[in-house]
Amino acid sequence: MKFGISVTIIVLVLQLLLAATPFAPVTAQYWHTNDPQQFYGVLGSFVGVELILLTAAITLILLKESNDAAKRISEIKTVIPGATVKA
């Protein structure tokens, strides 16, 4: 469970940093507010990066939980000999 929480916090911080880029003087120049086409290009790229971060976080958490469930099932099988565990 700690792994899932830490991944969620890391992704949340990265998404907040990406959301704050238009307001930070260092990164505000990347947004090209004078040209709408460039602005929407950058916006689309940032939304894509955010979706990739979200997908990666969900995938990592699901993989971890799946491995934990498989370990619990194998532990149950070893503790109770002759038991059938259906998953």
Q: Where are the domains of the chain?
A: 2-79
Identify the segments of the chain with pLDDT beneath 70.
Answer: 1, 83, 85, 87
Helix (H) or strand (E) holding 49: helix 36-79
Taking the C-alpha atoms of residue 11 and residue 30, their distance in angstroms, rounded to an integer, is 22
Taking the C-alpha atoms of residue 74 and residue 71, their distance in angstroms, rounded to an integer, is 5
- How much is the pLDDT for 24? 84
Decide if 54 contacts 16 (C-beta within 8 A): no
- How much is the pLDDT for 55? 92
Decide if 69 contacts 38 (C-beta within 8 A): no
Token couple for 57: 């976080």
- How much is the pLDDT for 71? 92
- How much is the pLDDT for 12? 86
- How much is the pLDDT for 19? 84
